[in-house]
Structure 1
Amino acid sequence: MARVGASIVAEVCRRIVAGELRPGDLLPSAKDIARELDVTVSAAHHALARMRQDGLAEKAADGPGLVVTERAPEIASAWEAPTWGRDAAPVDAQIVPLMVRTAIESADADGLEVTSMRRIAGRLEVESATLRKYVRDRAHLEILMADAIFAEHPPPESPAGDWRAQLEALCLLQLEMYRGHLWLAKAVSFKQPLLSPHVVAHVEWAVRALSGERRLALTAANFVRGHAMRLAQEPALRELGAGEGEGGHNAALFDFGLQRLLDGFGRLIPAHGKS
């Protein structure tokens, strides 16, 4: 699959160099690539993960999918297919982020349940034993996947407003992450955050907003996670718009629950935590 993926990337590079794809343009989805180039969807996902790893593509800022990066023309003109496959181990610096990105793409497309170490090894055309040199097991892989998503959505460096406004903004940011990756709520854990430095960053940010009240920060994080678990289990709730039917009702319930949670926090945090 790595060879097929490389041929897909090479074709995208050709289009970028030729000016058919320009910085900011939306790249075709994996399904569109598979249909156009007569390859498997899995190979297309592998190629998209490779393009992101190599700096040719990045997540769209205003919606789903990937877009061509500003540096893509320069990168595409010099891009060469990777030389590693089953007959050569990948470079250490490349393998872990590529594993994680491939696993995320797999989970987004097919679900967390089927995203196994064996499946990722197959997509990368390496032996499972090679991957286990860097990732202990499936649980470790899920921790890395969740941490990578949180790393892409850091809390604001200079938060605005009082503790309530800050915490509300963080909860909405986390909800957006979960909506973009429906498997994430199942994979993330706040019980052992030290295993996930970027999850820790979210928790510590909330702790600072709440004047050191760690239990309240974890309560807020798990409130959002619990709502996201329901979204993942009930597709109708996320398919409807915010002002329509059951989906809109669900959004209103989330906002109502969050506001009541923050009302309760207001009675518990120290006086100096209020503005």
Structure 2
Amino acid sequence: MSSTRKGKIDPARSLAILWRTHEPISRSAGPGLNVERIVRTAIEIADAEGLEAVTMRRVSESLGVGTMSVYTYVPGKTELLDVMVDTLYGEMRHPADVPDNWRARLERIAWENLALYRAHPWLLRAESSRPVLGPNLIAKYDYELGAVAEIGLNDVEMDAVLTLLLGHVKSAARAAMDVAALERETGMTDGQWWQSHAFWLEKFMKSGSYPTAARVGAAAGEAHGAAYEPEYAFEFGLQRVLDGISVVISERSAVAGSAGANRTETGPATAG
């Protein structure tokens, strides 16, 4: 469990807010306070200062209201995080001009999700492996399933394809976030850091003890200007994920074609 979500969790409390089954009114805070305003304020704080800066007290201070007024609308930080995450899902584009090719559709989904993480890096920590099923999460899931509908996969495989794809996106986004964090903490880019170690790396590699590492490391460093290039890693991995999915689709198509051929061959004999 993420360190941002502590204690016993009651999903019913988050669901009530997400689906707006009950909209409380705080008389002490005035008519301008509501769930939407609270959540937007929390997202602004997280974007500017990180997820750790988001507390019920900090949100109330930013809104200029008492902390108990915020609690009237959102019972705790766990529920606040759930609504923050679902709100961002609702901001993702669901364009109607869907590409004809399943591969192009999945590529678009991957880049859309990566863009979301780039805009809100804290989302990587706020998301849970046990998500609360808010309206925007369900809409996102339904839209993304459309990319792999009617291409020969069964329902379980469709879900697994999305899990695989989005897992790659999240992994790549987390790696890029780590690179950015190191640059902030050290004041050096990845390229600058490796350049400062170039003398020692060259000395150790020239010993001849690590010929493959020396050759490949030099090639990668020259290509990327650093030991790691997030954009290249994401695109390379994405294409390999799609390659793997294409194998499954081809296998399912072959099985379906074989079954159809068998039915055609045995049909007349059975009829006779």
Pair in the same fold by TM > 0.5? yes
Q: Is the 8 A contact 2:42 2:59 kept in 1?
A: yes
Show the counterpart of 2:206.
none
Task: Determine whether 1:117 maps to 2:47.
Answer: no
Cα distance between partner residues in 1 of 2:120 and 2:227: 18
Q: Is the 8 A contact 1:183 1:232 kept in 2?
A: no
Q: How far has the Cα of 1:164 moved from its partner?
A: 1.0
Task: Determine whether 1:188 maps to 2:127.
Answer: yes
Greater mean alpha carbon deviation, residues 226-235 or residues 113-122: 226-235
Show the counterpart of 1:219.
164
In the alignment, structure 2 segments of 5+ residues that lack a partner are 1-25, 150-154, 192-222, 255-272
Task: Determine whether 1:88 maps to 2:28.
Answer: yes
Give the SS at the match of 2:81.
Answer: helix
Q: Deviations over 1:131-185 (max 9, x none)?
A: 1222122121112112222211222223113111001101101111111111112
Q: Structure 2 matches for 1:54-93, cutoff 5 A?
A: 88-91=28-31
Cα distance between partner residues in 2 of 1:161 and 1:223: 23
Show the counterpart of 2:146.
208
Distance change (3 Å), C-alpha of 1:116 and 1:251? same
Q: How far has the Cα of 1:237 moved from its partner?
A: 7.7
Task: Determine whether 1:260 maps to 2:258.
Answer: no
Q: Is the 8 A contact 1:237 1:246 kept in 2?
A: no
Cα distance between partner residues in 2 of 1:271 and 1:205: 24
Q: Which runs of 4+ in 1 moved over 6 A?
A: 237-241
Give the SS at the match of 1:120.
Answer: helix
Give the SS at the match of 2:96.
Answer: coil
Task: Determine whether 1:232 maps to 2:177.
Answer: yes
In the alignment, structure 1 segments of 5+ residues that lack a partner are 1-85
Cα distance between partner residues in 2 of 1:226 and 1:122: 34
Partner amino acid, structure 1, of 2:240: R
Partner amino acid, structure 1, of 2:114: L
Show the counterpart of 1:178.
117
Cα distance between partner residues in 2 of 1:247 and 1:126: 48
Report the structure number with the largest CA radius of gyration: 2
Partner amino acid, structure 2, of 1:268: V
Q: How far has the Cα of 1:263 moved from its partner?
A: 1.1
Q: How far has the Cα of 1:247 moved from its partner?
A: 9.0
Partner amino acid, structure 1, of 2:119: G
Show the counterpart of 1:199.
137
Q: Over aligned residues, Cα RMSD in angstroms?
A: 2.9
Distance change (3 Å), C-alpha of 1:181 and 1:247? farther
Cα distance between partner residues in 2 of 1:237 and 1:176: 20
State the number of aligned residues: 184
Alignment equivalent of 1:97, drawn from 5, 24, 36: 36
Task: Determine whether 1:136 maps to 2:75.
Answer: yes
Partner amino acid, structure 2, of 1:199: L
Where relative contact order (Cα < 8 A, 6+ residues apart) is larger, the structure is: 2
Cα distance between partner residues in 2 of 1:157 and 1:102: 31
Give the SS at the match of 1:232.
Answer: helix
